[in-house]
Amino acid sequence: MTVAPDRPLASEIADILVTHCGLDPDVAATTPAASLEELGMDSLALLELAAVVADRWRVKIPEQAGELSIAGVADLVARRADPPGHTENAVDILAPLPLVWDITNDVARWTELFTEYAVAEILHRDGDTVRFRLTMHPDENGVAWSWVSERTADPAAREVHARRVETGPFEYMRIHWRYAEIPGGTRMTWTQDFAMKPTAPVDNAGMTARINTNSAIQLAVIKEKIERAYAGGAR
């Protein structure tokens, strides 16, 4: 369950405290940074707040909620009502693992592998770690999104751990690439863990849906290109 975006959550928490817990609305308005305890909310009031929040958002308020301000409670509810994002997508590629590994880890040529990137610029290399800037093709509004990421390859384990350095709308974004040999080819799996900033235009659930949709598209493109390269003699 996600928090409705059409009304400030702090205002809803304040209304609950006024309506159900006996908070003086004038006191709340004049001391917005005060904790609930400083606003005079006792243990019974906090229990009532917890009950309403649990019923409305299915979120459990901790016993220490009295130490939080109204905005702090709102932030806690928002984060727990919209849990961090997690996706896992995989594709089976009819090509040997070493070839799949080499092609998909050649970041400088990602513009040839992915359809969404206009520029892939290598900024720094240190052993198996590479820092790079990706720039996407302009979206429907003419905006070309760009960010810096870093990835560290583990050739022995056939894994790559990546993260966004410039996080943009994300609180964090981590990606784990795994490669495994299967009969006739290679299974490549992407696992992504992330959380969106409160100011982001989409919440964690919305971004999860976007990533799952886009990953399926890009994995299909990568599969087709690598299989074509292998059929053409690439090794």
Containing structural domain, residue 23: 9-81
Quickly state the pLDDT bin for 82 (edges 50, 70, 90): confident
More confident residue, 235 or 135: 135
At 198 the pLDDT is: 72
Quickly state the pLDDT bin for 8 (edges 50, 70, 90): confident
Cα dist from 182 to 100, 160, 161, 229, whole Å: 12, 19, 21, 19
What is the number of structural domains in the chain?
2
Spatial contact of 63 and 49, defined as CB atoms under 8 Å apart: no
Q: What is the distance of C-alpha 70 from the center of its chain?
A: 26
Based on the domain organization, do 89 and 178 belong to the same domain? yes
Helix (H/G/I), strand (E/B), else coil: 192: strand
Q: Which positions ≥6 away from 40 have C-beta within 8 Å? A: 23, 24, 27
What's the one-letter identity of residue 13?
I
Tens-digit pLDDT profile for residues 104-132 = 999 999 999 999 999 999 999 999 999 99
Last residue of a domain, one of 36, 59, 81: 81
Q: Is the dihedral of CA 71, 76, 82, 83 positive or negative?
A: positive
Question: Is residue 9 scored above 70 in pLDDT?
Answer: yes
Which CATH number does the domain housing residue 178 bear? 3.30.530.20
At 140 the pLDDT is: 86
What's this model's pTM, rounded to 2 decimal places?
Answer: 0.71
CA distance 15 to 49: 10
